[in-house]
A and B are shown apart, each in its own frame.
Chain A
């Protein structure tokens, strides 16, 4: 088990957070959070509800502006990018929302084609069609192409949300509570999907969750977010063997 400051890895860094701070009025959600994510690695941020996990994820893609610290993604300083450069970087970073956030006035196919059309990433309707088919197969939902989000179950929505992220071939994927609200079997399928994507697409991931099943199966490394800081990090086995009272509480209670 490592303290966050001394963690080292020879692989290239894809996400580097340093001394990240964010406050809402007098509520200091993040107070100097540090994290490194390397290429091809799945890192999970574990924390209690309301500990600032989703806020952390939103700071990485600048949906929220941190009040302090540094955010580097794929070698670029996110906080100093202009709007155009930020949009270009966001294409390389996928984000799976807890609510899936599918465009409810569009069919599944239109949802998936939307980012392609906006970024001119398909030269012909045939190519767009092939890309849609590919990502729908990757998430195992090829039959939902003409359905609307309202016709899908929670688990299916989450998978389509992931397919919409994948269609832009991101190098980093940020998962916000990918299994919350799902039954154990669907949760397990979601975890398998995350691992498939890591293997087949070579993505690096940050997974926000409080689900220890996700931690055990999908995470190469786990960082525990507590009081706005990276309290401790290590592999699942290292944390399970930890004597740290907070970490013990997680593993005993959950």
Chain B
């Protein structure tokens, strides 16, 4: 009993600490001495260099979902509904969540390990004593980059997944691209697109914040570096699901479902 209550206290302390770290990000986020060069570099590292992994994953997801959906719909003679159904599933839920999880794994862990390593080798201290605010230079730019890049990655992944779905449809039947696209666009409404797009900004924010938080507060020593990467992935992924749950409740309350 005492063990479980102390675990709850630890979780609440960690949650409070992450919330405080997020507040610090927002306070520094628009500072006049913004490191634009570092933001661009981080956007390149976290956005452009994640494109291949996100793209391949999106292609596989689109193809697999289409192929697996076909037998069920074929039983009801509703194969023409495949494009619309796959598109809605992909755009509303699967692509944003899977892309965010990939980013939590790839970007979050790399941020956690990099900042933890800089902390362990006193590089963050060196930056601080040279009169450069390391939080602003390292954390603010990284969190902004994931917040801005993740929605773009999701949009690109949506397009790739829908393209892969067309490939999947044409593996067993024939459907022209214009007809396929017409079916997709016909079934997608703004109420599918807008909430799904908005939540990706929160996914990006949480991936960046948790990755940086884990590295910034890493324990000293090499074990701290591994621990930071691990924490960035585990906590980041968990928070992605929690945000998704909250987003679904909000869109439901607002009548978007």
A-B contact pairs, 17 of them (CB 8 A): A58-B125, A61-B129, A63-B125, A63-B128, A89-B131, A90-B129, A90-B131, A91-B130, A101-B126, A102-B123, A104-B117, A114-B132, A117-B37, A118-B35, A161-B126, A164-B126, A165-B130
Q: How far is the CA of A93 from the CA of B35 in the complex (A)?
A: 23
Given A83-B133, A118-B137, A90-B128 contact (CB < 8 Å): yes
- Contact (Cβ within 8 A) A88 B131: yes
**Could you say which residues of chain B place their CB within 8 Å of the CB of A201?**
none
Q: How far is the CA of A161 from the CA of B125 in the complex (A)?
A: 13
Residue of chain A at shortest CB distance from B137:
A118
**Could you say which residues of chain B place their CB within 8 Å of the CB of A87?**
131-133
Q: How far is the CA of A220 from the CA of B131 in the complex (A)?
A: 28
- Contact (Cβ within 8 A) B123 A103: yes
Name the interface residues of A89-146: CB closer than 8 Å to any CB of B: 89-91, 93, 95, 97, 99, 101-104, 114-115, 117-119
Name the interface residues of A56-104: CB closer than 8 Å to any CB of B: 58, 61, 63, 83, 87-91, 93, 95, 97, 99, 101-104
The listed residue with most A CB atoms (<10 A of its CB), out of B37, B127, B129, B131, is B129
Residue of chain A at shortest CB distance from B124:
A101
Q: How far is the CA of A118 from the CA of B37 in the complex (A)?
A: 10
Q: How far is the CA of A39 from the CA of B64 in the complex (A)?
A: 73
Q: How far is the CA of A1 from the CA of B131 in the complex (A)?
A: 37
Q: Does A168 contact B (CB under 8 A)?
A: yes
Which residues of B does A touch, CB under 8 Å?
35, 37, 117-118, 121-123, 125-133, 137
- Contact (Cβ within 8 A) A97 B126: yes
**Could you say which residues of chain B place their CB within 8 Å of the CB of A89?**
131
Residue of chain B at shortest CB distance from A95:
B129
- Kindly list 20 other residue pairs between chains A and B, CB separation below 8 angstroms, not including A95-B126, A103-B118, A115-B131: A58-B125, A61-B129, A90-B128, A91-B130, A93-B129, A95-B129, A97-B125, A99-B122, A101-B123, A101-B125, A103-B123, A114-B130, A114-B132, A115-B130, A117-B37, A118-B130, A161-B126, A164-B130, A168-B130, A168-B131
Name the one of A104, A118, A165 contacting B121, with C-beta atoms under 8 angstroms: A104
Given A87-B132, A88-B131, A104-B126 contact (CB < 8 Å): no
**Could you say which residues of chain A place their CB within 8 Å of the CB of B37?**
117
**Could you say which residues of chain B place their CB within 8 Å of the CB of A58?**
125
**Could you say which residues of chain B place their CB within 8 Å of the CB of A99?**
121-122
Residue of chain A at shortest CB distance from B114:
A105
Q: Tally inter-chain residue pairs, CB-CB below 8 A.
A: 59
Q: How far is the CA of A123 from the CA of B61 in the complex (A)?
A: 51
Closest 7 CB pairs of A and B: A101-B126, A101-B122, A91-B131, A90-B131, A95-B129, A87-B131, A118-B132
Quote the shortest CB–CB distance from B166 to chain A (angstroms): 42
**Could you say which residues of chain A place their CB within 8 Å of the CB of B125?**
58, 63, 97, 101
Q: How far is the CA of A12 from the CA of B118 in the complex (A)?
A: 37
Q: How far is the CA of A94 from the CA of B69 in the complex (A)?
A: 65
Q: How far is the CA of A119 from the CA of B130 in the complex (A)?
A: 9
Q: How far is the CA of A58 from the CA of B124 in the complex (A)?
A: 13
Quote the shortest CB–CB distance from A158 to chain B (angstroms): 13
- Contact (Cβ within 8 A) A104 B131: no
- Contact (Cβ within 8 A) B128 A119: no
Q: How far is the CA of A63 from the CA of B131 in the complex (A)?
A: 11
Quote the shortest CB–CB distance from B225 to chain A (angstroms): 13
**Could you say which residues of chain B place their CB within 8 Å of the CB of A88?**
131
- Contact (Cβ within 8 A) B122 A115: no
Residue of chain B at shortest CB distance from A120:
B33
